Structure 1
């Protein structure tokens, strides 16, 4: 029904036995299976995908273009393209998105905010 083509592939993996304290900045695609105490932020202006697996826990802000969640996020989530909340997703924080897919069983404890992220097409000059 929907023909979705992923513009990004997974370039990096944070394994299940990995614990990181501090912010993680990435380009392209990142899969997280471990625990991060800090923000996870994709580079702005570049297509990105972030996959948070069932084992993953993030204590901090998450910001990326396409976000797939099946783990735990304790903090706000900002998706500039699409966020997919799979059945075991648990988010404690506000979720800002352009497009949202939410499966049965996913839980969000916070606000869901549809953000129309668009640049103005026409700017008018003030007349004298």
Structure 2
């Protein structure tokens, strides 16, 4: 199943769920909702069950009744007390440098003149 915008699941889906449509795409799975398959979305708010791997390019929010059996790959993770993950939590390696601005060139201390060094001290 592929969606854009937002999708709210209260029942059971057997198969993969994928979002398209950029940063605002969000999947919400209620306490009575279950997905048996992989989830590839921008944002996930889970209070139900996922049996499969979760790949969220932005945010994963695991509410108290959330249950995941599989790997959870995320950029930002919020996990409430009571939520369960039976698998791995994997932070997205590409997200950290982009978010913290590590692509910007660093200032080499050897290139600074004595005046600049004393002014910055």
TM-score by length of 2: 0.76
Within 5 A, what are the aligned runs for 1:14-53? 24-43=1-20, 45-53=22-30
The one of 61, 77, 99 equivalent to 2:76 is: 99
- List runs of 5+ in structure 1 lacking aligned partners: 1-23, 123-128
Q: Spell out, residue by residue over 1:14-46, the C-alpha distance to the aligned partner (whole angstroms, 9 max, x if none).
A: xxxxxxxxxx10001100001000001001645
Query: What corresponds to 2:32 in structure 1?
Result: 55
SS of the residue corresponding to residue 82 of structure 1 reads: strand
More helix per residue: 2
- Give me the TM-score of the superposition, normalised by structure 1: 0.72
Rg (Cα) greater in structure: 2
| Number of residue-to-residue matches in the alignment | 99
Unmatched runs of 5 consecutive residues or more in structure 2: 105-121
Of 80, 83, 90 in structure 2, the residue corresponding to residue 113 of structure 1 is: 90
